[in-house]
Protein backbone atom coordinates (compact mmCIF):
# COMPACT_ATOMS: atom_id res chain seq x y z
CA UNK A 1 0.00 0.00 0.00
CA UNK A 2 1.32 3.49 -0.78
CA UNK A 3 2.61 5.83 1.92
CA UNK A 4 -0.35 8.18 1.57
CA UNK A 5 -3.96 6.91 1.70
CA UNK A 6 -5.99 7.62 -1.40
CA UNK A 7 -8.66 10.33 -1.17
CA UNK A 8 -10.76 12.36 -3.59
CA UNK A 9 -8.03 14.99 -3.64
CA UNK A 10 -5.26 12.61 -4.75
CA UNK A 11 -7.08 9.75 -6.50
CA UNK A 12 -6.41 10.81 -10.10
CA UNK A 13 -4.07 8.33 -11.77
CA UNK A 14 -1.50 9.62 -14.24
CA UNK A 15 0.59 6.81 -15.73
CA UNK A 16 3.90 8.67 -16.11
CA UNK A 17 5.68 5.87 -17.97
CA UNK A 18 2.94 5.75 -20.61
CA UNK A 19 2.92 9.55 -20.97
CA UNK A 20 6.70 9.64 -21.46
CA UNK A 21 6.57 6.76 -23.95
CA UNK A 22 3.77 8.44 -25.93
CA UNK A 23 5.63 11.77 -26.00
CA UNK A 24 8.82 10.12 -27.26
CA UNK A 25 6.86 8.31 -29.98
CA UNK A 26 5.12 11.57 -30.97
CA UNK A 27 8.41 13.47 -31.12
CA UNK A 28 9.96 10.71 -33.23
CA UNK A 29 6.97 10.83 -35.59
CA UNK A 30 7.31 14.61 -35.96
CA UNK A 31 11.06 14.41 -36.54
CA UNK A 32 10.61 11.72 -39.19
CA UNK A 33 7.83 13.78 -40.81
CA UNK A 34 10.18 16.77 -41.08
CA UNK A 35 12.92 14.51 -42.43
CA UNK A 36 10.55 13.01 -45.03
CA UNK A 37 9.50 16.51 -46.12
CA UNK A 38 13.07 17.85 -46.35
CA UNK A 39 14.63 14.75 -47.92
CA UNK A 40 11.92 12.65 -49.58
CA UNK A 41 12.90 9.07 -50.19
CA UNK A 42 12.00 5.48 -49.49
CA UNK A 43 13.91 5.36 -46.22
CA UNK A 44 12.39 8.62 -44.94
CA UNK A 45 8.86 7.47 -45.67
CA UNK A 46 9.52 4.00 -44.23
CA UNK A 47 10.79 5.54 -40.99
CA UNK A 48 7.79 7.89 -40.90
CA UNK A 49 5.43 4.93 -41.37
CA UNK A 50 7.25 2.98 -38.65
CA UNK A 51 7.02 5.92 -36.24
CA UNK A 52 3.32 6.23 -37.06
CA UNK A 53 2.77 2.56 -36.29
CA UNK A 54 4.66 2.84 -32.99
CA UNK A 55 2.64 5.92 -31.98
CA UNK A 56 -0.62 4.18 -32.92
CA UNK A 57 0.37 1.03 -31.05
CA UNK A 58 1.25 2.92 -27.88
CA UNK A 59 -2.07 4.81 -28.07
CA UNK A 60 -4.10 1.66 -28.73
CA UNK A 61 -2.44 -0.24 -25.89
CA UNK A 62 -3.52 2.46 -23.44
CA UNK A 63 -7.04 2.55 -24.88
CA UNK A 64 -7.36 -1.24 -24.67
CA UNK A 65 -6.07 -1.37 -21.08
CA UNK A 66 -8.55 1.33 -20.01
CA UNK A 67 -11.44 -0.52 -21.68
CA UNK A 68 -10.44 -3.73 -19.94
CA UNK A 69 -10.12 -1.94 -16.62
CA UNK A 70 -13.61 -0.44 -17.10
CA UNK A 71 -15.04 -3.88 -17.84
CA UNK A 72 -13.43 -5.27 -14.69
CA UNK A 73 -14.79 -2.38 -12.60
CA UNK A 74 -18.23 -2.92 -14.12
CA UNK A 75 -18.12 -6.61 -13.20
CA UNK A 76 -16.81 -5.83 -9.72
CA UNK A 77 -19.65 -3.37 -9.15
CA UNK A 78 -22.24 -5.82 -10.49
CA UNK A 79 -21.04 -8.40 -7.96
CA UNK A 80 -20.94 -5.86 -5.11
CA UNK A 81 -24.45 -4.61 -5.86
CA UNK A 82 -25.80 -8.15 -6.13
CA UNK A 83 -24.17 -9.04 -2.79
CA UNK A 84 -25.84 -5.99 -1.21
CA UNK A 85 -29.22 -6.75 -2.79
CA UNK A 86 -28.99 -3.73 -5.08
CA UNK A 87 -28.67 -5.59 -8.38
CA UNK A 88 -31.88 -3.97 -9.68
CA UNK A 89 -30.05 -0.61 -9.68
CA UNK A 90 -27.10 -1.88 -11.73
CA UNK A 91 -28.80 -1.47 -15.12
CA UNK A 92 -30.02 2.02 -14.24
CA UNK A 93 -26.54 3.38 -13.55
CA UNK A 94 -24.18 4.56 -16.28
CA UNK A 95 -20.70 3.08 -16.57
CA UNK A 96 -19.22 6.42 -15.46
CA UNK A 97 -21.43 6.40 -12.35
CA UNK A 98 -20.45 2.80 -11.55
CA UNK A 99 -16.79 3.69 -11.89
CA UNK A 100 -17.23 6.59 -9.46
CA UNK A 101 -19.27 4.49 -7.02
CA UNK A 102 -16.45 1.95 -6.64
CA UNK A 103 -14.72 4.34 -4.24
CA UNK A 104 -17.62 4.17 -1.76
CA UNK A 105 -17.72 1.68 1.10
CA UNK A 106 -20.50 -0.93 1.04
CA UNK A 107 -22.32 0.77 3.92
CA UNK A 108 -22.81 4.03 2.03
CA UNK A 109 -23.53 2.52 -1.42
CA UNK A 110 -27.35 2.21 -1.09
CA UNK A 111 -27.86 5.88 -0.18
CA UNK A 112 -25.32 7.08 -2.72
CA UNK A 113 -26.91 5.01 -5.49
CA UNK A 114 -30.33 6.38 -4.59
CA UNK A 115 -28.98 9.91 -4.82
CA UNK A 116 -27.13 9.20 -8.07
CA UNK A 117 -30.31 7.87 -9.66
CA UNK A 118 -32.77 10.44 -8.29
CA UNK A 119 -30.54 13.50 -8.73
CA UNK A 120 -28.63 12.31 -11.81
CA UNK A 121 -25.28 12.88 -10.10
CA UNK A 122 -22.20 13.15 -12.30
CA UNK A 123 -19.20 10.93 -11.54
CA UNK A 124 -17.39 13.86 -9.93
CA UNK A 125 -20.40 14.65 -7.72
CA UNK A 126 -20.58 11.00 -6.68
CA UNK A 127 -16.89 10.91 -5.76
CA UNK A 128 -17.21 14.16 -3.79
CA UNK A 129 -20.14 12.66 -1.85
CA UNK A 130 -18.18 9.58 -0.75
CA UNK A 131 -17.49 9.76 2.98
CA UNK A 132 -15.61 6.48 3.55
CA UNK A 133 -13.18 6.49 0.60
CA UNK A 134 -12.01 3.07 -0.58
CA UNK A 135 -8.82 3.58 -2.53
CA UNK A 136 -8.06 1.85 -5.81
CA UNK A 137 -4.34 1.14 -5.64
CA UNK A 138 -4.19 -1.33 -8.54
CA UNK A 139 -5.06 0.92 -11.47
CA UNK A 140 -3.05 0.78 -14.67
Model confidence over 29-88: pLDDT tens digits?
999 999 999 999 999 999 999 999 999 999 999 999 999 999 999 999 999 999 999 999
82-115 exposure pattern, b = at least 16 Cβ within 10 A, e = fewer: eeeebeebbeebeeebbbbbbbbeeeebeebbee
Residue 77 located in a structural domain: yes
Q: Give yes or no for a contact between 139 and 110, defined as CB atoms under 8 angstroms apart.
A: no
Residue 6 located in a structural domain: no
Residue 102 located in a structural domain: yes
Residue 120 located in a structural domain: yes
Average pLDDT, the chain: 94
Residue 5 located in a structural domain: no
Residue 9 located in a structural domain: no
Total count of domains within the chain: 1
| Mean pLDDT calculated for residue range 18-24 | 95
Does 1 score more than 80 pLDDT? no
Q: The domain containing residue 39 runs over which residues?
A: 16-129
Residue 95 located in a structural domain: yes
pTM: 0.81
Amino acid sequence: MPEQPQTYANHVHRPRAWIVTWLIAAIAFLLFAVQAFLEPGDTSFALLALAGVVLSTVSLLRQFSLRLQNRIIQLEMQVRLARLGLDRDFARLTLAQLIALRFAADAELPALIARALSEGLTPDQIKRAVKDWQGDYLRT
